[in-house]
Amino acid sequence: MIMKRFVLLFSLIALASCSVLKQYSIEGFTTEQNTVYFNGEAMAVLSAIEYAYDDGKLVKELTFNLLHGKDNNKINNLIAFLSTRYVGYEFEINIPMENYKFED
């Protein structure tokens, strides 16, 4: 009984986390080798692969460096695309600081 509840709870959490990304369009994104393109223009490059033990589980993370500050508004879309391309990984996007402005 406890195992069934755990599986049900895990399934609900997984579905809820996936639905967050469904609101972002992934149209126009492609990959070639370690580069992600948006409408044919390079947008981000894979810079690191990290394996960690976090909160009692093994975690795989891909880190991408954003190439242009002009793409800051597409980060959520990029993560949504990456989650369909690299299932089972977590993602980190590094933004060039010279192009980033903090919101108040």
Mind listing the pLDDT tens digit for each residue in 56-86? Answer: 989 999 999 999 878 888 989 999 999 999 9
> Domain containing 64: what range?
2-99
Please report whether residue 24 resides in a domain.
Answer: yes
Which stretches of the chain score pLDDT less than 70?
Answer: 1-20, 98-104
In a domain, 104, yes or no: no
Sign of CA dihedral 34, 40, 42, 44: negative
**Long-range Cβ contacts of 38-46 (<8 Å, 24+ apart):** 38/71, 38/74, 38/78, 42/67, 43/67, 43/68, 43/71, 43/74, 43/78, 44/71, 44/78, 44/93
The per-residue pLDDT for 16 is: 45
Sheet strands (E) in 1-104: 29-32, 35-38, 41-54, 57-66, 90-94
Domain assignment of residue 57, yes or no: yes
pTM: 0.73
Length of the chain: 104
Number of domains in the chain: 1
Is residue 55 domain-resident? Answer: yes
| Residue 42 maps to a domain | yes
**Coil/strand/helix, residue 80:** helix
